[in-house]
Amino acid sequence: MTANSEASNPPPVRPNRTRAGKTRRTLIWTLVILIVAGLGFWWWKSPSSADKAAQAGGGGRFGGMNMVQPVSVQEVRRQDIRVTVNAIGSINAANTAIVHVQVSGVLQQINFKEGQQVQAGQLLAQIDPRAFQATLGQAEGVLARDKAQLDNARIDLARYKDLLSKDAIPKQQLDTQEALVRQLEGTVKSDQGTVDSAKLQLSYTRVTAPIAGRVGLKQSDLGNVVQPSDTNGIVIITQTRPIALVFSVPSANVPLITNRLRTNETVAVEAWDRTGKTKLATGQVATVDNAIDVTTDTIRVKALFPNLDDALFPNQAVSVVMQLNTLKDVLAVPQAAVLRGSQGFYVYVVNADSTVSTRVVKPGAIDSGWMAVDAKLEPGEKVVIDGTDRLREGGKVEVIAADPKQRAGASAPPPDSKRRNIPPEMAEKLKNMSPEERRAWFQQNGGSKKQDQGKQDKPAAPSN
């Protein structure tokens, strides 16, 4: 019975799930491929950002390889080039003196201004002198008394000598008087030393500058009791006129430096700030050290600067430029024009047909942005100093000013500045922009303004 029922009622047929899954995946992949193909076609048909820039700017600096490239140039010329050595140095005072008081007392006066230049022997401070004046008075009184006794003893001695010649007194009495005179002479001399010592102590109440130089910040205030044992003294004086600069240079420069010093030639040294943009002072080499540092293969050099304007301070770190020689009337190009590639160092030269060609150069000394070169160049030829990133041999170029402010249209007022109500300060910034930067600014700000204008012009929705 059971077997017949199962035979008469077969199980229901289930759908083919595997075939449906494969069909769904096929559709998904087909859709993905179509989307990717559409995006690729759109990307291929749409202009690139470089083409857009070229269309907007007429072939700007960031145009395609075949576009005319804007470049800035400068002429090759002949000039003197200094051969220099660069280093880092430290400013040292020629002399430094800590002004200590030599007697203890109350500080009554301060006769200097912090930071001023003082001369040797100039009065800096005054200590209360009354106690020392009293001591001097006592010493002078004792001296006067002993001098009077000495004078009286000398008179008696003369009298005794006369009496002895007449045999009126024994010789022993004369000898005793002579001894008394010598004793009193010693006493007077001792008293004179005491008076001199008291005068010296009194003079120490006037604190004077031991050297000429620049005073620092005061270390004691009025009314303080100052003593010779004070560590910081009253003030510190540094001799800054002249002032010394100590720096190290490679030992290979020693023969040239010593030869020039031996022949009394001036070796110029320039002190610049740490950024190397501002020259602080100019001096000359005074001497070199007596030994080379074997750990660094350098030798220390000392230069002196007049420093009349106090531009240099002790312990100041500066950049040093020491001039060793001068190359006379050599071929020179701007340092920015020299590039390095597989063929070595080279420059781009602008030809008469506005194309560029490369010239191999051998670089030399650099002075103030100009480099001495050995190359097949002629003075007056123009080399590219800006815009070399997309240049190729034989490429077309357009020469523009290196300074954006001097380029065509840079001085003209920005277009539509009045109509767009641009603030005056923004208009001034736009004048200083390059044409590409100004165009990009107007495209960005102009589009947003048009959108705002469109929103304002859109009619309001009718109210129900």
Any idea which architecture 83-128+208-327 has in CATH? Beta Barrel (2.40)
The pTM for the full model equals 0.60
pLDDT given at position 419: 45
- Extract the tokens encoding 150: 């000495």
The span from the CA of 198 to the CA of 134, in Å, is: 9
Residue 357 near residue 349 (C-beta atoms within 8 A):
yes
Q: Give the model's pLDDT for residue 221.
A: 94
Domain 135-204, what fold? Answer: Helix Hairpins (1.10.287)
> pLDDT in tens for each of the 464 residues of the chain?
444 444 445 544 454 555 666 777 787 888 888 888 777 777 665 544 444 444 444 444 444 445 788 889 999 999 999 999 999 999 999 899 999 999 999 999 999 999 999 999 999 999 999 999 999 999 999 999 999 999 999 999 999 999 988 888 899 999 999 999 999 999 999 999 999 999 999 999 999 999 999 999 999 999 999 999 999 999 999 999 999 999 999 999 999 999 999 999 999 999 999 888 899 999 999 999 999 999 999 999 999 999 999 999 999 999 999 999 889 999 999 999 999 988 899 999 999 998 999 999 999 998 888 999 999 999 999 999 988 888 888 889 988 877 666 655 555 555 554 445 566 667 667 667 766 677 777 777 754 444 444 444 444 444 33
Report phi then psi at 130, rounded to 5.
-65, -40
Please report the sign of the dihedral spanned by the C-alpha atoms of residue 166, residue 171, residue 172, residue 174: positive
The pLDDT of residue 405 is 61
Structure tokens at 207: 């604190």
- Whether domain 72-81+328-393 has CATH 3.40.50.300: no
Burial of 442 (0-12, 13-18, 19+ CB in 10 A): middle
Q: Which of 319, 276, 282 minimizes the C-alpha distance to 88?
A: 319
What are the residue boundaries of the structural domains of the chain, listed by start?
72-81+328-393, 83-128+208-327, 135-204, 406-444
Burial class (CB in 10 A: 0-12, 13-18, 19+), 228: exposed
Question: Torsions phi, psi of 42, nearest 5?
Answer: -65, -40
Question: What is residue 133's DSSP assignment?
Answer: H
User: DSSP character for 272?
Assistant: E
User: Using an 8 Å Cβ cutoff, are 181 and 147 in contact?
Assistant: no
Residue 226 has phi, psi (to 5 degrees) of: -100, 150
